[in-house]
Amino acid sequence: AQSVTQLDSHVSVSEGTPVLLRCNYSSSYSPSLFWYVQHPNKGLQLLLKYTSAATLVKGINGFEAEFKKSETSFHLTKPSAHMSDAAEYFCVVSDQPSGTYKYIFGTGTRLKVLA
Amino acid sequence: EAQVTQNPRYLITVTGKKLTVTCSQNMNHEYMSWYRQDPGLGLRQIYYSMNVEVTDKGDVPEGYKVSRKEKRNFPLILESPSPNQTSLYFCASSPPNRGEQFFGPGTRLTVL
């Protein structure tokens, strides 16, 4: 069975400092992994996705994530936080074999960026 | 413009009064899905559909029904809503092969 754990429910960083949002997953197959961002009172937007190609995935707005199979992790990073990065971030796993697809969301990490 | 639309965006209703939340996409996606979002729980999948007339339960299907008679539409039906179904609901669609999901703007439902 698949599952995903976001290790921090809240993260605070100062503007201009690095961001690290942690995600561990459990999967019985070869997973697809995603990070989505949700700004206040908005829908969800895809930041990046891993689907068994390069293990270092680059996304929008300077974010990237590295798939580490040995650690079952898919942490999201950004070198320098911007005020506009303040939002809630969701890690998502999908690993069902061909034919049925379920997506499992983590419980979210709320990122606060301090001026 | 490629998009997923949901209606209504906001709904306040009473216990037991049947309601339908519509979802429509114009991207010709086979896969569509419904989620509910509750504080501290993230998004949980209610139902999904691989294609027309093919639906399956997600993790929290109790109290909900869906249908997929046309490729573009995937309505969510609450036959007898209860207060514990008060939530923010999102519809999403996706091309095949576990790709990116495109989300609608959300429907905030309150059941009194």
User: Nearest CB to A107: which of B40, B90, B97?
Assistant: B40
Chain B: closest CA distance from residue A26 (Å): 16
User: Nearest CB to B42: which of A32, A100, A108?
Assistant: A108
- For the segment B12-47, what is each residue's pLDDT rounded down to a tens digit? 999 999 999 999 999 999 999 999 999 989 999 999
Chain B residues within an 8 Å CB radius of A103: 33, 45, 101
Report the residue of A38, A44, A107 to disrupt the B interface, i.e. the one with the largest count of B CBs within 10 Å.
A44
Structure tokens at A64: 């990237």
Pairing assessment for the beta strands B54-57 and B42-51 based on DSSP bridges: antiparallel
- A101 band by pLDDT with thresholds 50, 70 and 90: confident
- For the segment A19-67, what is each residue's pLDDT rounded down to a tens digit? 999 999 988 777 889 999 999 888 899 999 988 778 899 999 999 999 9
Contact B103 A43 (CB under 8 A): yes
Cα four-point dihedral sign B20, B25, B28, B33: negative
Q: How far apart, in whole angstroms, are the C-alpha atoms of residue A61 and residue A43?
A: 17
Burial annotation B9-40 (CB, 10 A radius, 16+ → b, else e): eebebeeeeebebebbbeeebbbbbbbbbeee
